Chain A
Amino acid sequence: GAVVSQHPSRVICKSGTSVKIECRSLDFQATTMFWYRQFPKQSLMLMATSNEGSKATYEQGVEKDKFLINHASLTLSTLTVTSAHPEDSSFYICSAKTGLGNTIYFGEGSWLTVV
């Protein structure tokens, strides 16, 4: 089946620095990718929808200048958390929509800890 890979799986960064998380579709082209955030004991919340070659669409309440999303190719989307703060510590997970059918595949997720 389709595979979506995220990197890094775990990252610790200092407060005030920026960190980039990559989401790759390994065996299919994904025109649309989604980024989610999951806080402890809560469900996944959609942050933004990323379309190849165009600006991402952010959900209400998500700061687009803080969470920079780039979808430079049909197999790669990146999420950059700028000027990270401890409250940004969370589980970030991406998903990609295949061109055929209507199935969305998820990456393994990335644990971000800001200290």
Chain B
Amino acid sequence: AQSVTQLDSQVPVFEEAPVELRCNYSSSVSVYLFWYVQYPNQGLQLLLKYLSGSTLVKGINGFEAEFNKSQTSFHLRKPSVHISDTAEYFCAVSDLGGGYQKVTFGTGTKLQVIP
């Protein structure tokens, strides 16, 4: 079984300030890690993913995340946020086995960028 914990349900941040959205996971097997963004009234859009290789992953819109195996974390960061980054962000894990690759989501973090 796998699980994802996003400790912060809401994160307010001023425009052009840096932001970190936290994500911790647990799994008994190796996993893939994802961050998705959901803008109001829209579906999910993939921000970035970690499959293997470099632990620092760069995604779209200036976001990046770092995989830390020892701390089982995959925190999302952006050095300078914009108003347009206001959305809900979901961390997700997917197991590597079974052929089905179920995706388990965290409860989401609402990023509110303040002008």
Contacts and interface: CB of A to CB of B under 8 A. Distances in A.
Interface of A: 6, 32, 34, 36, 42-46, 49, 51, 57, 93, 95, 97, 101-109, 111
Nearest to B49: A103
Contact of A93 (B44, B99, B102, B107): B44
B41 to A, nearest CB: 8
B49 A49 contact: no
A101 B51 CA distance: 9
A102 B94 contact: yes
Contacts of A101: 51
Given A42-B107, A104-B94, A49 B102 contact: yes
Given A32-B101, A34-B103, A105 B46 contact: yes
B4 to A, nearest CB: 9
A102 B107 contact: no
Interface of B: 32, 34, 36, 41-46, 49, 51, 90, 94, 96, 99-108
A97 B34 CA distance: 14
Given A43-B90, A44-B90, A104-B94, A97 B101 contact: yes
A82 B100 CA distance: 25
15 contacts: A32-B99, A32-B100, A36-B105, A43-B90, A45-B105, A46-B104, A51-B100, A57-B100, A93-B44, A101-B51, A102-B51, A103-B46, A104-B101, A106-B43, A111-B41
Contacts of B108: 43
Contacts of B45: 106
B43 A6 contact: yes
A37 to B, nearest CB: 11
B34 to A, nearest CB: 8
Contacts of A44: 44, 90, 105
B103 A104 contact: yes
B30 to A, nearest CB: 11
A107 B43 contact: yes
